[in-house]
């Protein structure tokens, strides 16, 4: 992943090529989301596209609208494919979802297409998308009580899904036979392949216009500049070792906290992030794989230094250590369904917590770091099978320049909550509530953002629901005197009775009957600074807006004027 070192392209050409590359991958994102059958891709945008180097798999460019967690992950995935292709050919596409070969959880399916120009392998086009169901013990794959990866779904090493621009029907049939919603699988395969073809067409046009030599020199120069940007930011941090620990609720099987311990070591313009001392591999599905852990650490840094360009150069001054005796570098057959959606977020907050000590003005207070993955599947009243998957945002932490964002997207993604209209149209549910969660934000000079209060009623047919979340024990932290935000608080209403799952934030195969309800309440962000320093007008505005009650204002701010 070493960046190039020579600046050999004039600035105007470099800027134009950079813009064209970004436009290219943005078009790939658009094709994928417009053609996908699954709402989690087409509506929630849980996907990414990019270009990657041959051999190393290092990232040339990734779409700005793609999920940040895939920034590092896709490099591992592309390299895994490249290492296994004896003779790459134009017109072929390889599919994989193996978490241990550069993946995340099994539901994130990658496709990789070799790109040739005048007979030479120049790069790979690749993408990933979250498929709502690819088998496993529960609809949607989020098996909160899985004890090995074989219970989480169909696990695939790199296999050829397109041969000489013809989709391999036998592979598609295998995928469909292992899914509860085979029609969605077929549609998503076509969408994912089409995005790669669209990207290839635009890349040919770009190279035809500028030539291979110029394009490759632009790639190297952009990587070198990203490395310089990262080094310049790291050089601003004081040298030292900064430690922080986050605790997750449990692993879904054993009700004991999981610790993520981080030591961030700054030396000049280089940074080492070491997870030694974190909890050992766990029995349940909250283990993380190396690719996801490394990518999560880099996403944390990107949160702190958002201007750094998205290419492999940003990795050049970084070293991320993921010891194999921790749950953050899982090996077969450890279950990993919570890897990308939950554990990754706590890795991000742990790294940010450590670096907050080195850059207190850049790092906000603690944020919501769970998306309450809810999957539900069964047969609707019309006799059609369905699998519904929803996830939620929450409150970001307050920061030195203002209040935290309310209902912000997941820290590891830019995906958005699916629209309630689309969800009601496709699945047997009726929404009763989708609102900001009053009182969830931590008080402070700059308060945290508010979490989400989300409730729906199951309307008929059959349903089994599974929940894989976290942060019901440990609230997003306040800093500089700010108060903590609220914890997550999910529950079911079954036969009129409120039911909190034994593991609180995790459980699987909860049978729903018509009229039963699901209510998910996500954390609010922590506050920044002493609440007594918050201007009275800001407190009064929150009360007037319905964000705070008079009693909450009196309690947290000693004023409501």
**pLDDT band with cut points at 50, 70 and 90 for residue 5:** very low
The pLDDT of residue 168 is above 60: yes
The pLDDT of residue 182 is above 60: yes
pLDDT of residue 64: 86
List, for residues 438-461, the tens digit of each pLDDT value: 999 999 999 999 999 999 999 999
pLDDT of residue 559: 60
* Beta-strand runs (E) in 304-346: 318-321
**pLDDT band with cut points at 50, 70 and 90 for residue 310:** confident
pLDDT of residue 561: 47
The pLDDT of residue 65 is above 90: no
Dist. CA 283–CA 419, nearest whole Å: 35
* In the chain, % of residues over pLDDT 90: 92
The mean per-residue pLDDT over the stretch 259-277 comes to 98
List, for residues 283-298, the tens digit of each pLDDT value: 999 999 999 999 999 9
The pLDDT of residue 463 is above 90: yes
Q: Please give the backbone phi and psi of residue 342, each rounded to the nearest 5 degrees, phi first.
A: -125, -60
CA dihedral for 481, 400, 445, 522, sign (positive or negative): negative
* In the chain, % of residues over pLDDT 70: 98
**pLDDT band with cut points at 50, 70 and 90 for residue 560:** very low
Q: What is the pTM of this model?
A: 0.95
List, for residues 361-402, the tens digit of each pLDDT value: 999 999 999 999 999 999 999 999 999 999 999 999 999 999
How many angstroms separate the Cα of 353 from the Cα of each of 111, 126, 195, 350, 358? 34, 32, 37, 5, 10
343 near 288, Cβ under 8 Å?
yes
Dist. CA 519–CA 512, nearest whole Å: 13
218 alpha carbon, distance to own chain's centre: 29
Q: Please give the backbone phi and psi of residue 410, each rounded to the nearest 5 degrees, phi first.
A: -55, 145
* Beta-strand runs (E) in 382-438: 385-390, 429-436
List, for residues 69-122, the tens digit of each pLDDT value: 998 899 999 999 999 998 999 999 999 999 999 889 999 999 999 999 999 999
Element (H, E) at 12: helix 11-35
The mean per-residue pLDDT over the stretch 476-497 comes to 97
Computed over every residue of the chain, the mean pLDDT equals: 95
């Amino acid at each position: 992943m070493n960046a190039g070192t020579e600046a050999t392209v004039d600035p105007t050409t470099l800027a134009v090529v950079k813009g064209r590359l970004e436009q290219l991958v943005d078009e790939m994102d658009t094709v994928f989301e417009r053609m996908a059958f699954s709402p989690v891709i087409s509506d929630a945008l849980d996907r990414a596209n990019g270009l990657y180097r041959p051999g190393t798999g290092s990232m040339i460019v990734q779409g700005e609208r793609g999920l940040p967690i895939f920034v590092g992950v896709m490099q591992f995935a592309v390299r895994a494919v490249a290492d296994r292709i004896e003779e790459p050919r134009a017109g072929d596409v390889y599919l994989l979802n193996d978490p241990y070969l550069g993946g995340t959880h099994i539901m994130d399916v990658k496709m990789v297409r070799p790109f040739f120009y005048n007979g030479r392998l120049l790069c790979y086009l690749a993408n990933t998308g979250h498929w709502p169901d690819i088998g496993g013990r529960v609809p949607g794959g989020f098996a909160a009580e899985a004890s090995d990866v074989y219970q989480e779904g169909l696990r695939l090493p790199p296999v050829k899904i397109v041969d000489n621009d013809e989709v391999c029907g036998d592979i598609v049939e295998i995928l469909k036979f292992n899914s509860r919603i085979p029609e969605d699988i077929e549609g998503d395969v076509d969408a994912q392949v089409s995005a790669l073809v669209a990207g290839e067409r635009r890349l040919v046009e770009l190279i035809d216009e500028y030539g291979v030599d110029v394009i490759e020199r632009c790639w190297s120069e952009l990587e070198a500049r990203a490395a310089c940007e990262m080094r310049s930011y790291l050089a601003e941090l004081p040298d030292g070792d900064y430690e922080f620990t986050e605790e997750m609720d449990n692993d879904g099987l054993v009700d004991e906290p999981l610790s993520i311990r981080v030591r961030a070591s700054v030396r000049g313009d280089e940074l080492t992030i070491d997870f030694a001392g974190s909890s050992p591999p766990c029995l349940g599905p909250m283990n993380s794989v190396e690719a996801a852990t490394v990518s999560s650490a880099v996403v944390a840094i990107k949160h702190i230094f958002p201007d750094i360009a998205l290419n492999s150069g940003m990795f050049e001054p970084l070293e991320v250590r993921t010891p194999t005796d921790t749950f953050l570098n899982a090996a077969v057959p450890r279950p990993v369904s919570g890897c990308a959606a939950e554990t990754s977020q706590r890795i991000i907050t742990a790294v940010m917590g450590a670096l907050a000590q080195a850059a207190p003005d850049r790092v906000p207070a603690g944020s919501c770091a769970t998306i309450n993955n809810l999957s539900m599947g069964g047969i609707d009243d019309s006799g059609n099978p369905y699998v519904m998957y929803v996830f939620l945002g929450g409150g970001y932490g307050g920061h030195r320049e203002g209040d935290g964002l309310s209902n912000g997207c997941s820290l590891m993604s830019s995906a958005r909550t699916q629209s309630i209209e689309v969800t009601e149209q496709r699945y047997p549910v009726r929404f009763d509530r989708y609102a900001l969660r009053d009182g969830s934000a931590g008080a402070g000079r700059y308060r945290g953002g508010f979490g989400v209060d989300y409730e729906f009623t199951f309307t008929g047919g059959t349903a089994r629901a599974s929940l894989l979340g976290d942060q019901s024990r440990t609230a997003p932290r306040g800093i500089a005197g700010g108060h903590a935000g609220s914890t997550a608080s999910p529950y079911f209403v079954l036969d009129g009775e409120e039911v909190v799952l034994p593991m609180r934030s995790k459980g699987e195969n909860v049978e729903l009957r018509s009229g039963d309800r699901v209510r998910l309440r996500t954390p609010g962000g922590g506050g920044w600074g002493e609440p007594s320093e918050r201007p009275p007008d800001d407190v009064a505005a929150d009360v007037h807006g319905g964000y705070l009650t008079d009693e909450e204002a009196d309690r947290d701010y000693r004023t409501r004027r």
